[in-house]
Amino acid sequence: MRAFYITTPIYYVNDVPHLGHAYTTVAADALARYHRARGHATWFLTGTDEHGQNIEDVARARGKTPKQHADEVVVRFMDTWKRLDVSNDDFIRTTDERHIKVVHETWKRMEAAGDIYLGSYEGLYCKRCEAFYTEGQLEEGRRCPVHQAEATVVKEPSYFFRMSKYQDRLLEYYEKNPQVVLPEMRRNEIVSFIRSGLRDLSISRTSFKWGIPVPGDEKHVIYVWVDALTNYISALGGEGSEKYKTFWPSAVHLIGKDILRFHAVYWPAMLMSCGLPLPKHVLAHGWWTVRGQKISKSLPATRVDPNRLAEDIGPDSLRYFLLREVPLGLDGDFSYEALIGRHNSDLANDLGNLLHRTLAMTEKYVGGVVPRVTPALDETEPHKTIAGLAIRARDEAERHFEALAPSRALEAIWEFIRGANRYVDAAAPWTLAKDPARRSELDHVVHTFLEAGLWAAWLAAPVIPRKAREILGQLGLADAPIRWPTAWNQELSPGSRIQRGAPLFPRIDEAKQAELLSRWIPPEAQAAPPSVGAAALSQPESVAGSGTITYEEFARLDLRTAVVKHAEHIPKADKLLKLQLDMGGETRQVVAGIAEAYKPEDLLGRQVIFLANLKPAVIRGIESQGMILAAGDKQVLALSALDRDVPAGTKVR
Ligand code: MSP
């Protein structure tokens, strides 16, 4: 049987769960649920990272021992995952005996391979990252680029891991296995990091106690990352256990891009040293900001509490939003308004409405009982179209879940759900119901609605498990398993009775929205700036007041000419257009805030100036891969243009 092993990072217990942690965990959960529905042997691991100087400091500040502190915080993580319907099979804590044992074994194996030696270390250490930095990697005031925490000089005896020895083997491995580190952009980053030279890694500390002692030299505790990374194997029971044999070869580490280096360089080097195989994939997802700001302890407005959202709007709406809004891999910006928008449009309108209509018509026209199908009708319109959409959605969803792309899977599933709503209109049961001679056609149509509801529930269940169960209940299948659909119009049993219940996703109207926003957004943050707006994406930021830049800084902008090949409005976004640009063979998609100044048809064939190396962003669920230049400050007045045509893709300097 095929196996699937998925892990999240183990979270530090110096913080309580926030939106970022929820994102990784929910994404891993959806992938695990998909594989279970397919009948694969699945193992889903999450947990907590409880050692290290930072945790020791935080506990001391609270007047607790580190273990007491960890015991308290770990409950917050476990509770949050329960509330979000996270279906982890195991929860590992680095203070578990089973973990400590495997960390010791790992150390000894690396030692036996001749890869550990005693030396002394002096360097700049960031406690928040639990990592050393070079002066050049730190920002002003010796602050770390991830947390802006000040790094301190650390000098002490230390054991080292011979990471340099693995530089060539790692490069060769990634060359031969280009699919291990995903997405591709991250693999390139890692390959150039390795190419720039790997230094031996300091892997023990003597200046604090809260950690796993080095075997045979108890003055030292093991570096927290060596300890933490080993969780992926210790939780399986270590090499040699049955669980390890079944699951390790299929391991997928889902992580945030902040900790890619640890997972794609340190961990593989450690595994090579131990003579163990590398994970199948390391997928680094992007970073969520909240209304344009980095999630940070010091900014209350960014402390989005997933528990609160799950309670107020339902875990499924939050899960759906997180996985649908941004493709795994890209950065995204969270706003409460966008969350409510998705709830209303995709869940209340599309899916909720489909079920509501379906069940109402089943009661009205066929007495609330699943009617028979006439298979031959599936070969005629409009039944043929919906059958085709169902099969396509299933196959596409399968392909995208397999490729670790839940947002794409959801897109495909929602194509089908919208198609099913159109089918209800095209099949017009209200007309068929007037003519007793057309009873079998009516039966077929009602059956098809119900089947569509069942397929929607099964396909979307990895992401919205609670509502999928509710749908099954309302279809009269409360005890049916969640599985993957196989044969169209053959999954329901005629004769069973439906159980119509409460609306699945009650619409959030304006009054309710205002109430929720005032509850969710802390008062001091109510006037916070909105998330990245359309204008910011279509216009260069004013440099006035920001001083001068050097030519080298300017030269980093990859400005090119591009030709507009396609332009269209974005539904419910008055200011935005979606453009496809030809950059001389390469097509780029851009979301531009120019809809108030230009009609889509006026743009076709126009040459524009395009900033090609702007970091991609997701706006209204659409990836924008650059920015076109325009004049105007708040409002776009005119697009950039050249006074004669040049080939698309020409450099602008
Ligand atoms: N303990 C280490 C991981 C050890 S794994 C062997 C750690 N913990 S953490 O608590 O800081 O969690 C980091 C992870 O939380 C990120 O990699 C990501 O999965 C998630 N996120 C935290 N903030 C995030 C965002 N703002 N956006 C998206 N995910 C983020 O690092």
In a domain, 293, yes or no: no
> Is pLDDT larger for residue 167 or for residue 549?
167
470 assigned to some structural domain? yes
Is the separation of the CB atoms in 257 and 181 below 8 Å? no
User: Does the annotation mark 21 as catalytic?
Assistant: yes
- Whether residue 315 lies inside any domain: the answer is no
CB 290 within 8 A of CB 19: yes
Grade residue 549 by pLDDT with cuts at 50, 70 and 90. Answer: low
Least confident of 496-500, 539-543, 575-579, 644-648: 539-543
Expressed in angstroms, the distance from the first to the final Cα of the chain is: 57
Q: Are residues 372 and 275 in the same domain?
A: no
Q: Which percentage of the chain shows pLDDT scores above 70?
A: 95
For strands 217-222 and 281-285, give the pairing: unpaired
Q: At which of 286, 303, 336 does a domain end?
A: 286
Same domain, yes or no, for 454 and 410?
A: yes
CA distance 287 to 354: 34
The pLDDT, as a whole number, for residue 620 is 81
Q: Tell the residue nearest (CA) to atom 12 of ligand 1.
A: 11
Of 497, 525, 553, the last residue of a domain is 525
**What are the pLDDT digits (tens) for 326-343?**
999 999 999 999 999 999
Does residue 549 share a domain with residue 501? no
Going by the DSSP 8-state scheme, the letter that residue 212 receives in this structure is P
Q: Which residues pair with 10 in a beta bridge?
A: 47
Return the pLDDT at 554: 79
Range of the domain at 50: 3-286
Which ligand 1 atom lies nearest to the CA of residue 294? 26
Model confidence band, residue 584 (pLDDT cutoffs 50, 70, 90): confident
Segment 253-276 mean pLDDT: 98
Give yes or no for residue 11 CB within 6 A of ligand 1: yes
The widest CA-to-CA distance across the chain, in whole angstroms, is 90
Convert the pLDDT of each residue in 162-198 to its tens digit: 999 999 999 999 999 999 999 999 999 999 999 999 9
Residue nearest ligand 1's atom 6 by CA:
229
Query: Are 519 and 577 in a shared domain?
Result: no
Residue 405: give its domain's CATH number. Answer: 1.10.730.10
Annotation marks residue 294 as catalytic = yes
Which pLDDT value is given to residue 552? 65
- The β-bridge partners of 578 are 568, 591
Q: Which of 40, 64, 147, 281 is catalytic?
A: 147
Which residue's C-alpha comes closest to atom 13 of ligand 1?
11
- Residue 67 pLDDT > 80: yes
Q: Is the CB of 370 under 6 A from ligand 1?
A: no
Where does a domain end: 486, 506, 525? Answer: 525
For residues 144 and 64, membership in a common domain is answered with yes
- Regarding whether 510 and 380 lie in a shared domain, the answer is yes
The string of pLDDT tens digits covering residues 596-640 is 888 888 888 888 999 988 888 888 888 888 899 888 766 777 888
What is the rounded CA–CA span in Å between residue 175 and residue 518? 52
Instruction: Answer whether residue 554 is part of any domain.
Output: yes
Q: Is the peptide bond before 600 cis (omega within 30 degrees of 0)?
A: no
Task: Give catalytic status of residue 35 as yes or no.
Answer: no
C-alpha–C-alpha distance, residues 329 and 389, integer Å: 28
pLDDT value, residue 300: 86
Number of alpha carbons in the 13 Å side-chain half-sphere of residue 129: 23
More confident site: 571 or 342: 342
Residue 486 Ramachandran class (φ > 0 left, ψ -120 to 50 alpha, else beta): alpha
Q: For residue 245, how many other CB atoms are within 10 A of its CB?
A: 13
Q: How confident is the model at residue 582 (pLDDT cuts 50, 70, 90)?
A: confident
312 lies in some domain:
no
Q: Are residues 502 and 563 in the same domain?
A: no
Report the alpha-carbon distance of residue 42 to residue 34 in Å, rounded. 9
CATH number at residue 13: 3.40.50.620
pLDDT in tens, 6-57: 999 999 999 999 999 999 999 999 999 999 999 999 999 999 999 999 999 9
Neighbours of 502 (CB within 10 A): 7
Indicate whether residue 390 lines ligand 1 (CB < 6 A).
Answer: no
Same domain for 588 and 504, yes or no, is no
Could you give the CA distance from residue 614 to residue 627 in angstroms, rounded to a whole number? 7
Averaged pLDDT score across all residues of the chain? 92
pTM of the predicted model as reported, rounded to 2 decimal places = 0.81
Chain segment 488-511, per-residue pLDDT in tens: 999 999 999 999 999 999 999 999
Give the pLDDT confidence of 623-633 residue by residue, as tens digits.
888 899 888 76
Q: Is the N-terminal amide bond of 183 cis, ω within 30° of 0?
A: yes
Residue 211 within any structural domain of the chain: yes
Q: Looking at the structure, tell me whether residues 255 and 112 fall in a common domain.
A: yes
What is the reported pLDDT for 538? 30
DSSP structure class, residue 348: I
Residue with tokens 């396509």: 392
Mean pLDDT of 525-544: 36
Alpha-carbon dihedral sign for residues 582, 584, 585, 586 = negative
Give the closest residue to 488 by CA, choosing from 402, 379, 371: 379
Q: Please tell me whether the peptide bond between 66 and the residue prior to it is cis, using omega within 30 degrees of 0.
A: no
Residue 331 belongs to some domain of the structure:
no
Residues 544 and 514 in one domain: no
Q: Is 126 a catalytic residue?
A: yes
Specify whether 17 is located in the same domain as 101.
yes
Distance 66 CA to ligand 1 centre (A): 20
Question: Of the residues 18, 104, 400, 447, which is catalytic?
Answer: 18
Question: Are residues 168 and 191 both part of a single domain?
Answer: yes
Cα 296 versus chain centre, distance: 19
Backbone angles phi, psi at 198, to 5 degrees: -100, 130
Task: Give 163 Cα–ligand 1 centroid separation in angstroms.
Answer: 24
Cβ–ligand 1 contact at 287 (below 6 Å): yes
Averaged pLDDT, 417-432:
95
Nearest CA to ligand 1 atom 15: 21
CA of 552 to the centre of ligand 1 (A): 33
Alpha-carbon span 459 to 399, nearest angstrom: 12
Residue 196 alpha carbon to ligand 1 centre in Å: 25
| Lowest-pLDDT choice from 216-225, 272-281, 319-328, 567-576 | 567-576
Look at residue 536 in the predicted model and tell me its pLDDT.
30
Please tell me the predicted confidence (pLDDT) of residue 388: 97
| Closest residue by CA, ligand 1 atom 25 | 20
Rounded distance between C-alpha atoms, residue 209 and residue 227, angstroms? 14
244 Cβ below 6 A of ligand 1: no
Is 274 marked active-site?
no
Bridge partner residues of 92 (DSSP): 47
Q: How many domains does the chain have?
A: 3
Residue 108 located in a structural domain:
yes
